[in-house]
Amino acid sequence: MTTSLLLIIQIVLVVILVIAVLLQKSSSIGLGAYSGSNESVFGAKGPNSFLAKATFIIGFLFVINTITLGYMYSQSAQSSVVDEMTPTTNVAAPAAPTTTPTTPKK
């Protein structure tokens, strides 16, 4: 249950991280051109510092989530299904037949 929740969080963080990186302004502008010029939302410096901080925070959460998932998977790999089996009673197999088959005489 917890592992599947962390996997869903991991996928959401990856998607948000990719979008945050693609929205940042670069020398060739990239997808940053689609973010618009709404500088009042992000402050006087514009979206650049906000996106850089958001990318750092999302990247940090991604790394923490990855380490947590790795730890949980390593803990589950140490346990085995055989460890959880209950011992059963030994039942003797039926004895082999003692009579020898007869061959027809010619």
Q: Domain of 7?
A: 2-78
How close are the terminal C-alpha atoms of the chain, in Å?
73
Taking alpha carbons only, the member of 60, 54, 61, 44 closest to residue 21 is 54
- pTM of the complete model: 0.56
Domain count, the chain: 1
Cβ-based neighbour number of residue 47 at 10 Å: 20
Asked, for residue 92, whether it belongs to a domain, the answer is no
pLDDT value of residue 30: 53
pLDDT value of residue 38: 47
For every one of its 106 residues, what pLDDT tens digit does the chain have, with 9 covering 90 and above?
688 899 999 999 999 999 998 888 765 555 555 555 544 455 555 567 888 899 999 999 999 999 999 998 888 777 777 777 777 777 776 777 777 667 776 6
Asked, for residue 38, whether it belongs to a domain, the answer is yes
